[in-house]
Amino acid sequence: MNFEHTEERRMLADSLNRFIAEQYGIEKRNHVAASSQGFSPEKWQQFAELGVVGALLREEDGGFGGAGFDIAVVFEALGRGLVIEPLLGSAVLAAEAISAAGSDEQKAVLGQIAEASIVASFAHDEPNTHYELPRVATAARRDGDGWVLDGAKAVVLNAEHAQVFVVSARTSGAIGDESGISLFLVPADAAGLSVVGTPTMDGGRVGELTFNSIRLDAGALLGAEGQGYPVLERAVGRGILALCAEALGAMEAAKEATLDYLRTRKQFGVPIGSFQALQHRMADLLLEIEQARSAVINAASSLDADRMTRERALSSAKYSIGRIGTLVAEECIQLHGGIGMTWELPMAHFAKRLVMIDHQLGDEDHHLERYIALGRQLEAAAA
C-alpha cells in the first residue's frame, strides 16, 4: 500500500506550515491562548481562506477532502504550531456528527463551518463518565412535537463562543446503554442553556453547559431517535485521529528544537550533543517518534474500514500517542535542562499540550483496555 501523500496534500501541508511559521509565532499564540476568547477569530478566518477547514470536510459537505490522510496532514501541521483555533471541535467532531446524521436542512450548517462564519461545538462528555461513550445521563423527553432537554456537559471546546452545539442525550434505556442515545442541534441562545467558561492548562478555553428544561422543536433531532451511538463513535474516531496527528506534529517540533539545542549548547568547550549518553537518549526518542508516525498512518488508512478494524486502529494509535507523547515531553525538557521549563521557550508549551492530548477523548489506559476488549470481541465472533 502506498502511503505517500498526494500532490494536493503536500501543497496544503507546505502552505499551512509556511503560514504557521510566518504568522503564528509562539508569542502571538500564547497571547491569544490567554485571552478571554481563547482563539483568534482573525486567524480562524484565515485558516478557512487557506482551505484548512475545507480539507477536513467531504465534498458533499462543502469541503474538498475529509479522508483520514487529509485530517492527518492538517493536524500534524497544526500540532507543530500549537494552533488553538476551533478546528477540532467545530470542523471535525461537530461537523462529522452533522454530516453523518443530519437532514439536508441541518447540513446547511456545514457550509457555514467550512467558511468559518460560525463555530460549532461538540457537547458529549459529562462529569464522571471516564471517557465511556455510552455513559450519557443528560436526558431528552418528548413534549408534544418537540423535546425538553435536561442535564449537564463538561469540558466542551470553545463553548463560550459557539453558535450551535451538537448535544448527546438519552431518550431511552439505562445510563451506559449504547442504544437510546439521541443527538440534537441546540442553538447557543436557547432559553435555559447556561455556559460557564474556564481556561485550560495548555491554552484556549472550554466550558461547562447546563440544560434547564430547554425546549427544542422537532427539527432539532439529529438523525433517528435512539440511534446516535454509531454517529458518536464515528465522530469521536475522527477526533482521535486528529489528536494523534496533532501530537505527532508537536513531537516533531519538540524533537527539532531539542536537536538544535544539543548542537548549540556547549559544555567543557564542546556541544553537549557530542556526549554519547545524550546521543543514545536522542536516538531512542527518534525511534519512538517514528513508531508514533506509523500508528498515525495506520489509523488514517483505517478510518473508512469496517468498524472493528477502524476502532482497533484508532485505540492502538491513541494508546501509542499517549505513551510516546509523555515520553517525548519529559525527555525533551530534561535534555534542555532548566531552561526547558521556562515560559519563554516553546518547549514547555509543547510538553503541556502533549500531556493534555493524552487526556482528550480517552487516555492511554482507557484505549489500552478498549483495544483488548475489541480484540476479545473479534475472537468471540470468530469462534
* Residue 264 burial (10 A CB sphere; 0-12, 13-18, 19+): exposed
Predicted confidence (pLDDT) per residue in 244-273, tens digit: 999 999 999 999 999 998 888 878 888 887
**Residue 203 in this model has a pLDDT that exceeds 80:** yes
Enter the pTM of the model.
0.95
Q: Which of 28-37, 90-99, 103-112, 178-187 has the lowest mean pLDDT?
A: 28-37
Distances (CA, A) of 36 to 83, 139, 160: 16, 31, 10
* Cell numbers describing residue 103: 437532514
Predicted confidence (pLDDT) per residue in 300-311, tens digit: 999 999 999 999
Q: Half-sphere exposure (CA, 13 Å, Cβ side) for 164?
A: 25
According to CATH, the superfamily of the domain at 230-382 is Butyryl-CoA Dehydrogenase, subunit A, domain 3 (1.20.140.10)
pLDDT of residue 170: 97
Q: What are the boundaries of each domain within the chain?
A: 7-114, 120-225, 230-382
CA distance 116 to 259: 37
> CB neighbours of 187 closer than 8 A, spacing ≥ 6?
163, 164, 165
For the residues 169-192, what does the mean pLDDT come to? Answer: 95
* Cell numbers describing residue 285: 526518542
Ramachandran angles phi, psi of 238, nearest 5° = -65, -35
What does the CA dihedral 134, 89, 247, 38 come to, rounded to 10 degrees? -130
- For 120-225, CATH gives 2.40.110.10
Ramachandran angles phi, psi of 123, nearest 5° = -110, 95
Alpha helix stretches (DSSP H) within the chain: 7-23, 26-33, 41-49, 52-55, 68-81, 95-101, 108-114, 229-264, 276-301, 307-336, 346-358, 364-382
> CB neighbours of 99 closer than 8 A, spacing ≥ 6?
57, 58, 61, 107, 110
- Torsion over CA: 368, 369, 373, 374 (sign): negative
> What percent of the chain has pLDDT above 90?
81
CA distance 361 to 356: 10
Helices (H) and strands (E) in the chain, counts: 12, 10
pLDDT of residue 204: 87
* Cell numbers describing residue 247: 501530537
CA distance 290 to 9: 20
Q: ∠ CA(28), CA(30), CA(36), 5° rounding?
A: 105
pLDDT of residue 2: 60
CA distance 213 to 151: 9
For the residues 39-49, what does the mean pLDDT come to? Answer: 93
Ramachandran angles phi, psi of 158, nearest 5° = 55, 35
The long-range contacts involving 281-289, CB below 8 angstroms and separated by at least 24 positions, are 281/331, 281/335, 282/258, 282/335, 285/255, 285/258, 285/327, 285/328, 285/331, 285/332, 286/255, 288/324, 288/327, 288/328, 289/248, 289/251, 289/252, 289/255, 289/324, 289/328
Fold of 7-114: Butyryl-Coa Dehydrogenase, subunit A; domain 1 (1.10.540)
* Cell numbers describing residue 377: 470481541
Predicted confidence (pLDDT) per residue in 333-368, tens digit: 998 887 877 877 889 999 999 999 999 999 999 999
Q: Which residues of 203-239 are buried (b: 16+ CB within 10 A; e: fewer)?
A: bbbbbbbebeebebeeebbbbeebbbbebbbbbbbbb
**Residue 193 in this model has a pLDDT that exceeds 70:** yes
pLDDT of residue 86: 95
* Cell numbers describing residue 13: 501541508
